[in-house]
Structure 1
Amino acid sequence: MDLLTPLETICRLMVRARELEAQVPSIETDEEEDPTDSDDEFAVLEDDANEATEQEIVALLDDLGDDQVQEILALAWVGRGTYDASEWSDALEAAADPDSEDPAEQLLDMPTLAGYLDAGLAAFDLSCEGIGQID
């Protein structure tokens, strides 16, 4: 299988998706004036809307062609187990279906997108090892 989308781009998307997955919604309490004064060791992971990381993912997807976003969605579906690697053409066809939800929105709605993409790449003997920030 030859990817239309550069592997580096998919790997960068995985890094950002992992960052988004690691963040948790902030919990506001009336008792707590300054979250840095709390004893909660996970407070540094809190981000009200994860906006910066999510915007970066959206911008990355917006910079790609429709066929590349569809390819990434199909890859995530293979990683999720919706399709097998041998059904790659079926996954691509389904991702390109004009009657279905926008592929970029579907990707953003996947709670473990990075894991799905990692598994999808592995199904085709590809990985992000040694590429950019991923080792």
Structure 2
Amino acid sequence: MVEIPELSISPETVRAIISMARRFDAKDAVTDPDPGSNGTDDGMLEVLEDHADDPVRAEITTFIHDLNVDEQVDLVALTWLGRGDGDLDNWDDLRAEASRAHNNRTASYLLGTPLLADYLGEALSLFGQSCDDPDAERL
């Protein structure tokens, strides 16, 4: 049986990032980079587009930036684990590589990772944690 390593980042924090990443992933490419009209005239499509000043992007970027270095390293290592770049047996190696690669662009890197929420959810499950946010609304 594989011993589950201890994380520097809490599962609750990872779940919060998963929630934000899902909202961010719902965004579409910008179709009108300079909308000059009233949003209601355009069917409010701008809300679903990934603009540079998008509040969802700003929220997740600030949230990740405010994490300490160990938490950011764990977050990147969890992303890699969830996408299948390793398993719990080589967690220390994944984490060491994430530590070597760490820089001030962690949020940008993670936001550029397709399926980020899915990867983090998969990684949490490998740590015996649910990726479901207990406070999330159920449909």
Query: Which TM class, normalised by the smaller chain length?
Result: 0.7 to 0.9
Q: Would the alpha carbon gap of residues 88 and 50 (structure 1) be closer, same or farther in structure 2, given more than 3 Å must change? A: farther
- The one-character-per-residue Cα deviations of 1:73-96 (angstroms, maximum 9, x if unpaired) are 101100011111211111110000
Deviation at 1:62, TM superposition (A): 1.6
| Cα pair 2:74 2:95 within 8 Å, conserved | yes
Amino acid at match of 1:69: Q
Task: Report what 1:15 is aligned to.
Answer: 19
Give how far 1:36 is off: 4.3
Q: 1:68 aligns with which of 46, 61, 71?
A: 71
> Does the 8 A contact of 1:14 with 1:117 survive in 2?
yes
Asked if the contact 2:15–2:132 (Cα under 8 Å) also holds between the matched residues in 1, the reply is no
Where in structure 2 are there 5+ consecutive unaligned residues?
none
What's the offset of the Cα at 1:125?
1.8
Q: 1:59 aligns with which of 59, 62, 72?
A: 62
Q: Give the equivalent residue in structure 2 for 1:110.
A: 113
Q: Stretches of 4+ moved more than 6 A in 1?
A: none
Distance 1:57 1:17, change over 3 A: same
- The alignment's C-alpha RMSD in Å is 2.7
> How far, CA to CA, are the matches of 1:85 and 1:61 in structure 2?
23
Contact 2:83-2:119 within 8 A present in 1 as well: yes
1:129 and 2:132 are equivalent in the alignment: yes
TM-score (norm 1): 0.79
Identity %: 30
* SS of residue paired to 1:8: helix
Aligned partner of 1:4 among 5, 8, 14: 8
Q: Deviations over 1:82-118 (max 9, x none)?
A: 1112111111100000xx3626143222121111101
Letter in 1 for 2:68: G
2:80: which partner in 1? 77
Taking structure 2 as the reference length, the TM-score comes to 0.77
